[in-house]
Amino acid sequence: MRKTLTLAAVTAAASTAAAAQTIDVGTTASPVGLDPHVATAFSTKLITDAVYEGLTAIDTDLRVIPSLATDWSVSEDGRTYTFTLRDGVTFHDGTAFAADDVVASIERVLDPDTGSPQASRLELIETVEAVDDATVQIVLESPSAPLLGHLANIAIMSKDFLDAGGDPQQTPAGTGPFRLERWVPDTALELVAHAEYWEDGLPRAEALTYHIVPETATLQLGLRSGAYDLLPTADIASVVSLEGQPGIETLSTQELSYGLIGFNAAEPPFDDARVREAFNYALDRQQLVDVVLFGRGQPGAPLSPALVDWAMPGDSFACLTRDVDAAQALLAEAGYADGVEVTINVLGILPQIVDLAQVVQAQVAEAGFDVTLNVQERGEFIQDWRNSNFTAFASLNGGSIDPDGTFYRTFRSGGSTNVFQYADDAVDRLLDEARIGTDPVARKAAYDELQGLLACTGPIAFLTFADLHALTRDGVEGFALHPTRDMRALRTTAVPAD
């Protein structure tokens, strides 16, 4: 009898220990492949962030910090970057990390056959070469201030793995704190700590499991019952209903991405800058924050207030404060004195965007915009968006830590995500200047001017910056929300014993 009891006690202790060291993450969407060079959907990034690392990383204050590169220097003309690589780093497949891997990874992103959407971030790279095993040199066509920030998102893969024909869509081979052990489709992805991780004492947890839970109500219950430790991207409705419940903690940070209405600048009525300005005047952004975001967020402006070094406050621009008379006057001037009918395509998978669009519809109606909302399924929306097949659309845009990251591709004529067909000579000139400029003061001046040009008559009405929320069980330590939604903090996360 005594023996049985002891045995039972030992078994119980063992299972508690095992449970205590696994971070159970609850998330709604399955990843669409695991190749971070190719699949840029957030459902993939959530997982690859734990598996891969870049030369640099970005901390929660949005500063560039060392990661796989310990140090770097920039030549006088701003075109040559020399990186010193970290010693003693091992890939999950057991091979040692060296300069060749960096070269292979960057070349893979730039290779047109890869089809990597990240290529445009590296398009200024002229050559990348291994000087020796521990040094990589990148030469640019022209100086690029945002390069170091961009490199944080370029996953470094094992050259041996790629050469052997490995497919990173299914078998990730990174240097990150966790290694993929098992992928049960539609159910879970099980990762274990990378035993040879370069930083001593990290990761703190022994394992990390992503549970795919499509139903929000189930996620909430699972967190309360202890089945999940962490919901890294909790929707606002869940936060509101769970906040203050015993055993639940809420983490918040300011998000870089923003809700927006995008206009087709090549078709009536929004080809007329006055109509775009009128739309801006017709919006009540504070009301959007209060009603749709439950007060958790900031009114929209060209740059997120999280970018403290760059963003101009929203009240710097008259058109970001509601003025229905001004809106009506502008509409009349543009020849729409009796109002104008417009259809807005709405990205239907994001409930927050649908809510925003509905409130916008009511707000602008007072100024004479008769809005029809066309709520679309994801694939349909993306197709119309890609083909500029819209009068206007409501969606969510990601931000970047350097204004160039989003501004250039979004507003430059011919920019890769300038689906608005927007073209403005002054904007183009300023974007080019700021991109190659290395003088921070001059860049700041250029971006200030750009914010002024884009706020009222640009192809986007900036609606809101939502706060980003995560929910954890009490006792989950070391996790921090990142304004870019980076999941780097998983390596320092520890979970309580049950």
Partner 1 sequence: MPAGLRLITQRLIDLLFILFGVSILTFLMIRLIPGDAVQIMLGANAEITPERVEALRAQVGLDRPLVEQYFVWIGDLLTGQFGTSLWTGRPVIEEIGAAAVVTLELSLLALALAIVVAVPLGCLAAYARASWLDVVVRVVTVAGITIPSFWLGIVLLLIVFAVAPGMQTFGYVPFVEDPLGNLQIMALPVLSVALPIVANLVRMVRTAMLDSLGQDYVRTARAKGVGESRVVLVHALRAALVPVVTSIGILTGYLLAGSIVVEKVFTLPGLGRLVVGAIEERNYPLLQTSILLVTATFVLINFLVDILYTVIDPRIRR
Binding site for partner 1 (CB under 8 A): 30-33, 38-42, 44, 112-121, 167, 169-170, 183-188, 211-215, 217-218, 221-222, 224-225, 227-228, 347, 377-386, 395-398, 409, 416-417
Q: Kindly provide the residue ranges of all beta strands, DSSP E only, lying in 348-437, ordered along the sequence.
A: 369-376, 392-397
Nearest approach, Cβ of 219 to partner 1 (angstroms)?
A: 9
* CB contact burial 377-405 (16+ within 10 A = b; e otherwise): eeeebeebbeebebbbbbbbeebbbbbbb
C-beta of 255 vs 272, nearer to partner 1: 255
- Residue placing its CB nearer to partner 1 in the complex, 115 or 244: 115
Largest CA distance in the chain: 92
Looking at residue 312, the DSSP 8-state letter turns out to be P
Measured CA distances, 284 to 275, 323, 353, 406, 467 (Å): 16, 9, 16, 24, 18
CB of 278 to partner 1, least distance (A): 27
Question: Considering the complex, what minimum distance in angstroms separates the CB of residue 386 from partner 1?
Answer: 7
Closest CB to partner 1 among residues 82, 416: 416
Which residue's CB is nearer to partner 1, number 222 or number 302? 222
Task: Mark 457-467 as b/e (b = at least 16 C-beta within 10 Å).
Answer: bbbbbbbbbbb
In whole angstroms, the minimum distance from the beta carbon of 480 to partner 1 comes to: 23
Q: How far is the CB of 262 from partner 1 (least distance, A)?
A: 11
Q: Which strand (E) or helix (H) includes residue 247?
A: none
CA pair distance 275, 270, nearest whole angstrom: 6
How far apart are CB 43 and partner 1 at their closest, in Å?
9
Least distance to partner 1 from the beta carbon of 224, Å?
7
- SS3 category, 172: coil
CB of 409 to partner 1, least distance (A): 5
Rounded to 10 deg, the angle between the 403-411 and 440-457 helix axes is 50
CB of 404 to partner 1, least distance (A): 12
d(CA 472, CA 483): 17
- Tokens matching residue 295: 């007060």
CB nearer to partner 1: give 21 or 30: 30
Cβ proximity to partner 1: between 83 and 263 the closer is 263
Range 131-135 contact pairs with CB under 8 angstroms and sequence separation of 24 or more = 131/82, 131/99, 132/99, 133/85, 133/98, 133/99, 133/100, 134/84, 134/85, 134/87, 134/98, 134/99, 135/82, 135/83, 135/84, 135/85, 135/99
Whichever of 227 and 291 has its CB closer to partner 1, that residue is: 227
The residues, any chain, with a CB within 8 Å of residue 318's CB and separated by 6 or more, are: 456
Are 117 and 153 in contact by the 8 Å Cβ rule? The answer is no
Q: Which is nearer to partner 1, 63 or 386 (CB)?
A: 386
Residue 83 vs 258, nearer CB to partner 1? 258
> Residue 491: what are its φ and ψ, rounded to 5°?
-70, -25
Please identify, using beta-carbon distances, which residue of 178 and 393 lies nearer to partner 1.
393
Compute the least distance from the CB of residue 195 to partner 1, in Å: 25
Sign of the alpha-carbon torsion through 152, 155, 158, 163 = negative
Q: Which is nearer to partner 1, 187 or 372 (CB)?
A: 187
In angstroms, the CA 198 to CA 79 distance is 30
Angstrom distance (rounded) from CA 473 to CA 480: 14
CA 112 vs. chain centroid, Å, equals 23
Q: How far is the CB of 379 from partner 1 (least distance, A)?
A: 2
The SS3 assignment for 76 reads coil
